[in-house]
Amino acid sequence: MNERHEQHDADSPDDAGEPTLPAALVADLTALYRPPSTLRAPSRVDDTVFRAAREHLAGVSALGAKTPLSQVGERLGEGDGSSDASSHRLHSEASDDSTLTPALSLSGRGRWRWALPWGLAAAAALAVAATVSITLIRTDAPRAAADPRDIDANGRVDILDAFALARRLEQPLGGVDPARVDVNGDGAVDAADVDAIAAAAVKLNGGRG
C-alpha cells in the first residue's frame, strides 16, 4: 500500500468516521500483544541511565545551562542570547530523524549553540585583551606563578575559565578573590575580566585550529 493510495483513500467520504473494532477483537489484540508479566526493567539499565544522567547533566550545570550565557550576552550588548532560538520541536526532530540511532544522532545541534554568544563576546573583547597584553609586556609587570586567568586551576586558560568566572560573578557575594581574578588589572572584577579570559581562550585556541 503506497502513501498516494492511502491518502486518496483517506480523502474519500467512506473514511470520514472514527474506525472501530469489536470489543472481543480489541480484548484479544490486547492479550496477544501484552508483554509477559515477568517483563521487568533490568537493574543494570536503571543504573546506567541514572549514571549517564548525572554525568551528562553535570556538564550542563558546569556550562551554566542557559541563564549565565544569556546574561553575559546582555552585558556585552550582543542581544538577549535567549535559548528560545535554540529550542526545537521535540516531536518533529524525533520523527524526522530517519537515521536515528543512539550512537549517531545524539550529538545535537544545540550542543554548540552555547558557543555563539561567547564567540561574539570573545571577538568583541579581542582588541581590549590585546591592548592589556601589550601593556603588561611593555611594563614588565611581574607575573604570578599561576596564571590568574586559569580560574578552574586546571593548568589551561580556556573558555571554561570564562564560564567559571561568569558563574562566580552571579553569586551573591561574588564568590571570587579580587586579587586573584582581576585579570585585566583595572581594580574591579566584572564582565570585562570574563571578556578578557574569553578573548585569551580564543587567542590561545586559534592556533590549534
Partner 1 sequence: MPQDVAESGATPADDPRSDLELVDAINSGDPAAFDALYLRYRDWVLRLAWRFTRDHDAAGDVLQDTFTYVLRKFPGFALTARFTTFLYPVVRHVAIANQKKARRMILDDGQIDQPAEPDPPSADTQRRQLASVMACLSEDHREAVLLRFVDGFSLAEIAEAVGVPVGTVKSRLHHAIKALRDDPATQRYFEQ
- 150's CB contacts (< 8 A; 6+ apart) are 156, 157, 161
**Cβ atoms of residues 68 and 166 within 8 Å:** yes
Using the rule CB under 8 A, is 139 a contact of partner 1? no
Using the rule CB under 8 A, is 25 a contact of partner 1? yes
**Cβ atoms of residues 64 and 166 within 8 Å:** yes
Residue 52's identity, in one-letter code, is A
Provide the minimum distance between the beta carbon of 143 and partner 1 in the complex, in angstroms, as a whole number.
Answer: 36
Q: CA 101 to CA 181: how far, in whole Å?
A: 44
Q: 110-129: which residues touch partner 1 (CB under 8 A)?
A: 110, 113
Using the rule CB under 8 A, is 39 a contact of partner 1? yes
**Binding residues for partner 1, how many (CB under 8 A)?**
68
**Cβ atoms of residues 96 and 84 within 8 Å:** no
Q: 145-204: which residues touch partner 1 (CB under 8 A)?
A: none
Q: Binding residues for partner 1, per CB under 8 A?
A: 1, 3, 6-7, 9-11, 14-15, 18-22, 24-26, 28-33, 35-36, 38-42, 44-46, 48-50, 52-54, 56-58, 60-61, 65-66, 83, 86-91, 93-98, 100-102, 105-108, 110, 113
